[in-house]
Amino acid sequence: MVTAVFPGSFDPITRGHLDMIQRASQLVDQLIVAVMVNTSKQPLFTMTEKVAMISEEVADLPNVEVQAATGLTVDFMASVHATVLVRGLRNEQDFGYERDIAWMNKSLDETIETICLIARPPYAYFSSSLIKEVAKMGADVSKYVPTAVAQKLHQRLGTDQHD
């Protein structure tokens, strides 16, 4: 049985993330979406809120579960007996960053293999950070995040949605 981990801060979960989760779930027996802490970012949502939002969005995928995780991804992977790490690539900059992380993870744990999925065109140009910036200005972001997430995002930011 192949267990994979798709880690991220998911602040918030985007339609691009969900596309990656759906695609990765078809490649492995079990996919664990690991909601991680990114120490270089200030989160908008709590870990508990993010786990709940993602769990709601992936409820129809029977081999996907969502867990909160702290520390090194390789340590979390060992704790859930995962050997495959799934990452997404939107552009050339992502490739360089992900390549370096993959080699670091491999040096920390030889058993880990990283699979990178290329973002499909509708999802390749935006990130959670960019979506938060646009939402702060009151723009409707439901094109980029699930509707329920867009509502929570605007509530948290105290912004009204414009079309």
The binding site for substrate consists of 9, 41, 73, 87
Q: Which of 90, 99, 120, 156 is catalytic?
A: 90
Q: Annotated catalytic, 40?
A: no
β-sheet bridge partners, residue 31? 4, 64
Sequence-separated (6 or more) residues with CB below 8 Å from residue 120: 19
Q: Which of 41, 79, 107, 143 is catalytic?
A: 41
Q: Annotated catalytic, 17?
A: yes
Q: Which of 15, 17, 152, 154 is catalytic?
A: 17
Q: Annotated catalytic, 23?
A: no
Q: Which of 15, 25, 50, 128 is catalytic?
A: 128
Tokens 């709940």 correspond to what residue? 52
Q: How far apart are CA 62 and CA 51, in angstroms?
A: 16
Q: Is residue 64 within 8 Å of 26, Cβ to Cβ?
A: no
The annotated binding site for ATP is made up of: 9-10, 17, 88-90, 98, 123-129
The annotated binding site is made up of: 9-10, 17, 41, 73, 87-90, 98, 123-129
Q: Which residues of 46-72 are buried (b: 16+ CB within 10 A; e: fewer)?
A: ebebbbebbeebbeebeebebbebeee
Q: Annotated catalytic, 128?
A: yes
Question: Annotated catalytic sites, by residue?
Answer: 17, 41, 90, 128
